[in-house]
């Protein structure tokens, strides 16, 4: 799934790493001190206001004044307007002539956008989001596994096996960041390997959610230690897909989600 119109690919679109992990997934050179591209400034507007809305710091119905944003962030009005347009495409705000730009309630948000997922994941709503998206994934990933068992190419099946192997290696050295990075890759391959374009559209949505679990934010829910049983289920799923076993792959995909739902529900109960 691609990002919203106008959102540049930038380091802010990747999760921050935990203490033991790298700063972000992938490479790329940091911008030199004292320089900012138009894309960087646009991203700054989107990230700043988007996270405030998700966190509730900008309440529903509040009017956002472009001039105030310009002064606070020291960014031109043109860039701010482009940033607000992007946030509007995500359903976070709405601009109307003579009524200004107002913050919209959650039912208007694009809850499957990787950007909204990341913002919610770094806010107080993170456990609710985990539960909601796990329930959503329960149906689509079982179906994706069933079809992927016979539709995915040999290269895709081998890539699944490599992702599972990386999960095992990361588990052995207690590298939570790279464990969930490999987990995200495995589930992305599963959805894309289904051969169903509608299912494949959710690959980046699911990957964005899973990357959050290794991000190291104090808000993001991640277990203190990954259970070996979770690892083995993922390895078994990759193996079932490799031998083209539809029934086993579908059952394992469902089991992975159900067990994670139980884990998240326990965490939610504990925090109440």
Q: Tokens representing 63?
A: 């009017």
The dihedral formed by the CA atoms of 188, 254, 210 and 259, expressed in degrees to the nearest 10: -160
Residue written as tokens 């709503």? 125
Give which of 132, 67, 69, 65 is closest to 101, Cα–Cα: 65
Query: Do strands 93-96 and 63-64 pair parallel, antiparallel, or not at all (unpaired)?
Result: unpaired
Contact 64, 88 (CB under 8 A): no
Where do the domains of the chain lie, and which CATH numbers do they carry? 37-108 (1.10.10.10), 114-271 (1.20.120.530)
How far apart (Å, rounded) are the C-alpha atoms in residues 251 and 176?
A: 25
For 151-210, what is each residue's pLDDT tens digit? 999 999 999 999 999 999 999 998 888 999 999 999 999 999 999 999 999 999 999 988
- Report which DSSP code applies to 26: S
Question: What mean pLDDT do residues 65-93 have?
Answer: 95
pLDDT tens per residue across span 101-151: 999 999 999 999 999 999 999 988 888 999 999 999 999 999 999 999 999
Cβ contact 117:133 at 8 Å: yes
Nearest-5° angle of CA 211, CA 180, CA 90?
Answer: 15
* pTM, 2 dp: 0.76
């Amino acid at each position: 799934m691609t990002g919203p119109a106008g959102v540049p690919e930038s380091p802010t679109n990747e999760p921050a790493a935990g203490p033991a992990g790298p700063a972000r997934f992938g490479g790329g050179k940091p911008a030199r001190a004292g320089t900012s591209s138009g894309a960087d400034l646009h991203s700054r507007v989107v990230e700043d206001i988007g996270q405030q809305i998700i966190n509730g710091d900008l309440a529903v119905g509040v009017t956002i004044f472009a001039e105030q944003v310009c002064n606070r962030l020291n960014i031109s009005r043109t860039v701010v307007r482009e940033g607000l347009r992007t946030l509007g495409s995500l359903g976070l705000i709405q601009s109307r002539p003579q009524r200004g730009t107002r913050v919209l309630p959650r039912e208007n948000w694009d809850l499957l956008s990787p950007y909204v997922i990341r913002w919610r994941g770094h806010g107080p709503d993170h456990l609710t989001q985990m539960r909601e998206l796990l329930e959503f994934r329960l149906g689509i990933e079982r179906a994706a596994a069933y079809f992927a068992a016979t539709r995915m190419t040999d290269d895709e099946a081998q890539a699944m096996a490599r992702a599972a192997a990386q999960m095992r290696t990361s588990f052995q050295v207690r590298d939570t960041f790279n464990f969930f990075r490999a987990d995200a890759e495995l589930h992305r391959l599963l959805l894309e390997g289904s051969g169903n374009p509608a299912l494949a559209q959710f690959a980046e949505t699911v990957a964005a959610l899973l990357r959050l679990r290794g991000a190291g934010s104090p808000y993001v829910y991640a277990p203190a230690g990954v259970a070996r049983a979770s690892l083995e289920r993922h390895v078994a799923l990759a193996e079932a897909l490799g031998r083209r076993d539809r029934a086993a792959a579908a059952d394992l995909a469902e089991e992975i989600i159900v067990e994670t739902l139980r884990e998240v529900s326990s965490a939610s109960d504990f925090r109440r």
